Structure 1
Amino acid sequence: MEKELKLSNADYRLLSIVWDSEPIASPELCKLAESQLGWKRTTTYTVLKRLCDKGVLQNENTIVTSKIKRDHIQEIESRWIVSRVFDGSLPKFITAFLGKEKISDNEAEQIKQIIDEYRRRK
C-alpha cells in the first residue's frame, strides 16, 4: 500500500471529511461534500470509489470508514515530498518551508522538543 499510494487533492479533501466524521453514512458524506466542497453527489461517489479501490476507505452497507488513519497518510505524503522535491533532505525541506517566514518562540520550542524526542527513541 505505501509503495505507491498517490492521493489527488480531491482524494485528500474527501478523506479529511471522512476522518472528521467517521463512521459516516455515504448519503451524509455526500451532503457534507456538497456543503464543504461544492461537490455534486456523483463527484463524491466517484472519489469515494477511487479511495475504496486504493484501499484507503471502505464503504460497507453504506457506512464509510477509513482503513488508513490521517497521521499515517500525513507521514507517507510528507516523506514522499521530502524524498521527491528535496532529495530526501529534511534540512532542505525545513529551510524551504520556513523561507523568509519567522516562527514564534513557541513553535521553535515545539520543533526542538520533537527532535529531542526523536533522538531519545534512537
Structure 2
Amino acid sequence: MEKFKLFDAEQKFMDIVWELEPINSTQLTKICSKRLGWKKSTTYTIIRKLSERGIVKNEEATVTALVKQEQVQKYESEVLLEKSFDGSLPTFIATFLKDKKLSKREAEEIKKMIEEAIHE
C-alpha cells in the first residue's frame, strides 16, 4: 500500500489543487491566501514539500496533482480501519451506522458496492 498521508494543512491545500488543477502557482498562492489565510511563502513551501514527496508537480509555474484524491482517501480509510477497528470492516460499519438511519437509496448503493466487492 502506497503511503499518501497528508497532514491537515496539506489536505486543505490538496483539496484546492484537486478542485482547480492545472493551476498557475501565482493564482494558487492568491487562493490559499483567501481561503486558508496563508502567506505566499507558506504556499510555496507546501508546493515544494509535496513536490519532493511526489504528490504534486510544479512545472513552468503550473501545479498539478500526481496523486488522485481517491488514492489519499483509500489510504486514510485503510489506516483508520486498521488503527481504530483492528482491521474489521463489519465492526467499522456497525459503529458507523449506530444511531443512523439510511435512506432506501443509500442502502441500495451500499448493497451494490458489497456485492461488487465479493470475490469467491
Does the TM-score normalized on the shorter chain lie above 0.5? Answer: yes
C-alpha distance in 1, partners of 2:36/2:102?
Answer: 31
Q: Does 1:10 align with 2:21?
A: no
For residue 15 of structure 1, report the CA deviation from its aligned partner: 0.6
The answer on whether the counterparts of 1:5 and 1:54 sit within 8 Å (CA) in structure 2 is no
Superposition RMSD in Å: 1.7
Against the structure 1 CA distance between its residues 53 and 99, is the aligned structure 2 distance closer, same or farther, given a 3 Å change threshold?
farther
Greater RCO structure (CA 8 Å; 6+ sep): 2
Provide the TM-score with structure 2 as the length reference: 0.89
Count of aligned pairs: 120
Of the structure 1 ranges 76-85 and 36-45, higher mean CA displacement relative to structure 2 is found in: 36-45
**Which residue does the alignment assign to 2:53?**
54
Which runs of 5 or more structure 2 residues have no equivalent in the other structure? none
Of the structure 1 ranges 88-97 and 59-68, higher mean CA displacement relative to structure 2 is found in: 88-97
C-alpha distance in 1, partners of 2:59/2:71?
Answer: 22
Which runs of 5 or more structure 1 residues have no equivalent in the other structure? none
Against the structure 1 CA distance between its residues 109 and 5, is the aligned structure 2 distance closer, same or farther, given a 3 Å change threshold?
same
**Which residue does the alignment assign to 1:86?**
85
For residue 71 of structure 1, report the CA deviation from its aligned partner: 1.1
CA offset digits 1:54-81 (Å, max 9, x no partner) = 1111111211011111111111111111
C-alpha distance in 1, partners of 2:113/2:64?
Answer: 30
The answer on whether the counterparts of 2:58 and 2:64 sit within 8 Å (CA) in structure 1 is yes
